[in-house]
Amino acid sequence: MSATPLPSPNFGDRRGGVRPDLVVIHYTAMPSATEARARLCDPAAEVSAHWLIAEDGTTEQLVDESCRAWHAGAGAWGGVSDVNSRSVGIELANPGDAPFPEPQMAALERLLAAILDRWSIPPERVIGHSDMAPGRKRDPGPRFDWRRLALQGLSVWPGVSGADGSAGPLRGALAAFGYPDVGDDVLLAAFRLRFRPCVSGAEDATDRALAADLARRFPVDGGTLSA
Burial class (CB in 10 A: 0-12, 13-18, 19+), 55: middle
Closest by CA position to 179, among listed 65, 83, 97, 94: 83
Whether residue 91 lies in the annotated active site = yes
Residue of 55, 91, 102, 109 marked active site: 91
List residues bridging with 80 in a β-sheet: 77
Quick check: helix, strand or coil at residue 1? Answer: coil
Closest by CA position to 138, among listed 96, 101, 110, 177: 96
**Angstrom distances, CA of residue 139 to CA of 60, 88, 95:** 20, 15, 10
How many other CB atoms sit within 10 Å of the CB of residue 102? 9
- The catalytic residues are 91
